Amino acid sequence: MLVFLHTFQLGLRSLWLHPMRSLLTVLGIFIGVASVIWLLAIGEGISVVAQRQIEGLGAENIIVRSVQPPADVTAGMNGPVLYGVTRAEFEMLKQTVPTLKNNGGGALPIREVRRTISYDGRSVDGRVVGCTPQYQQALKLEVATGTFLTEIHNRNHENVCVLAEQLARKLFPYEDPLGRSVYLGENKDFYRVIGVLKYRNATAAVGGSLAAQDFSSDMYVPIETVRQQITDTVVTRRGSSFSAETVELNQVTLQVNSIDNVRRTAALVRKMLRVAPDDKGPAVQEVGFKGQERSESELNRQDVSVVVPEELLEQARVTKFMFMIFMGLIAAISLLVGGIGIMNIMLATVTERTREIGIRRALGATQQHIVLQFLAETISLSVVGGTTGILGGLLCPLVIDQARALAIRFAPELMSQLPPVVHELEATIVPLSIPLAFCISVLVGVVFGIYPAMRAARMDPIEALRHE
């Protein structure tokens, strides 16, 4: 053991004799080891982003959303555009899906309208969310003061509302909002504030089907009140032309009673709403009657999308996996190239030091001693590379933040087109990756050092002594 430590010390010293050469040799290992740490850190970051998305949506939920048809489809049409989930469909889901929480109580209808919310001359462009009392529990909204909506408010179609924290602060910078009434200009109607929520983090966007939700400008109103006061048809004015759309419900959140049932329930819901199964999700077995095959168009409804957070987890896993393979490949290639570089240098070193090998053999070194010596030198090289690589790897979160900030500053358009994961990603160093990276660098040293070391050991001591 002592001999081994001594050998290492000597190994490091002989590397120090050729600093430039050692530096260049070590570069490959540096890149390889750093990319191992990077790949794990970024992979972890992707997982965290995905986890946060799922958490925001609730892993046990299935989200049915109405999707506005694209403008070119609706261009020639007269009258309001009709799309989305209907109340009838909601009732159908609520009554017939067997795996919902609380025997159908886990189905939440939601209606959203953008409105200008004002109080005492202050106006905020906000989002009016018509919902049921269960919405609070489903989205884990916490009440700061007052109460959330109740069943009675809903039944009586009362003009009451609960404000999000930021919205309340903007509208009521000086007063206590409770008991006061905010005004919706478009409807010429007042709503009494009965509660203010605590601050809630925004959820991330999910693919193309679900936009990011920041809850900051939400105003929660009983859904029955929305139906009565705001109605299903909303007319918006764009310049000189008006466009109208009729939507009964913007979203239905289905809470499934058990996480194990989520996928099966999702398949059922898709079938009931005639939505094509999600390609990215796991294959769902189609149970159809023979001879009664449904036509393509029937199973291809475009104005409703079914989002299953659980499936998103799967997607995130795939993304992460792809990324890890890609980075892993980079790491493997640079480790291979670095290893070959090290082997090359060690072979040159062995030839250069033939005489020294002869001397050592004459003075009593066994073949094993020589192998150990050169192996120790190779490992020293790769470990130096590995250690600097680890340091380089630890800079990952910092570098990513800086690079992203720079990219946003100099190429904002390009950055805006990139998927949200790029923006939200926070690389997280996986603690285990540090010992792993270290072991990899030692391993590279052993693998690529063994051949030059064996060659040194197998030399005939007499020949080696005679070598000039």
Partner 1 sequence: MKLAAQLVGIRKDYVLKSETVRALRGVAFDVPEGDYVAIMGPSGSGKSTLLNVLGCLDKPTAGNYFLGGDDVARMNDDQLSWIRATRIGFIFQSYNLIQQYTVVENIEVPLLYQGRLNSQAKQRCRELAQLVGLGERLTHRPNQLSGGQQQRVAIARSLVNDPFFILADEATGNLDSATSEEIMQMFERLNNEGRTIILVTHEDDVAAHAKRVIRLRDGLVQWDHPNETRVLAAAAAPAA
The site for partner 1 (CB under 8 A) is made up of 2-3, 6, 13-14, 17, 355-356, 358-369, 461-462, 465
Instruction: CB nearer to partner 1: give 18 or 264.
Output: 18
Residues 102 and 18: their CA atoms lie apart, in Å, by: 74
Name the residue nearer to partner 1 (CB basis): 111 or 360: 360
Smallest distance, Å, CB 465 to partner 1? 7
The distance of closest approach from Cβ of residue 3 to partner 1 in the complex, given in angstroms and rounded to an integer, is 6
Helix and strand element counts for the chain (H, E) = 17, 13
- Tell me whether residue 330 or residue 359 sits nearer to partner 1 (CB atom): 359
Q: What DSSP designation does 307 have?
A: E
Q: Which is nearer to partner 1, 301 or 369 (CB)?
A: 369
Degrees to nearest 5, angle at CA 464 with 458 and 468: 145
- Whichever of 2 and 71 has its CB closer to partner 1, that residue is 2
What are the structure tokens assigned to 377, written together?
């030198």
CB of 464 to partner 1, least distance (A): 10
CB of 362 to partner 1, least distance (A): 5
Question: Please, are residues 217 and 125 in contact by the beta-carbon 8 Å criterion?
Answer: yes
Query: Which of 320, 356, 363, 324 lies closest to 468, judged by CA?
Result: 356
Question: Whose CA is closest to 113, among 220, 26, 213, 241?
Answer: 220
Count of positions (residues) in the chain? 468
User: Whose Cβ is closer to partner 1: residue 76's or residue 364's?
Assistant: 364
Helices marked H in 97-157 = 134-138, 151-155
Q: Measure CA 465 to chain center.
A: 63
Cα–Cα distance, 252 to 111 (Å, whole number): 9
- Rounded least distance, CB 462 to partner 1, Å: 5
CB of 319 to partner 1, least distance (A): 52
* Helix axes of 87-96 and 262-273: crossing angle, nearest 10 degrees: 140
Residue 246, classed as helix, strand or coil, is strand
Cβ distance to partner 1 smaller for residue 13 or 155? 13
**Least CB distance to partner 1 at residue 366 (A):** 4
State the Cα–Cα distance between residues 399 and 29, nearest whole angstrom.
19
DSSP 3-state of 423:
helix
Question: Residue 365 Cβ, how far from partner 1 at the closest point, in Å?
Answer: 5
> How far, CA to CA in Å, does 468 sit from each of 25, 224, 332, 338, 356?
26, 98, 39, 30, 10
CB of 20 to partner 1, least distance (A): 17
333 vs 359, beta carbon nearer partner 1: 359
Q: What are phi and psi of 324, to 5 degrees?
A: -65, -35
- CB of 64 closer than 8 Å to CB of 85: yes
What tokens appear for 349 in the block? 């070193």
- Report in angstroms how near the CB of residue 453 gets to partner 1 at its nearest: 16
Closest CA to 250 of 282, 274, 216, 226: 226
Judged by beta carbon, residue 21 or residue 369, the one nearer partner 1 is 369
Which is it for the CA torsion 123, 127, 131, 137, positive or negative? negative
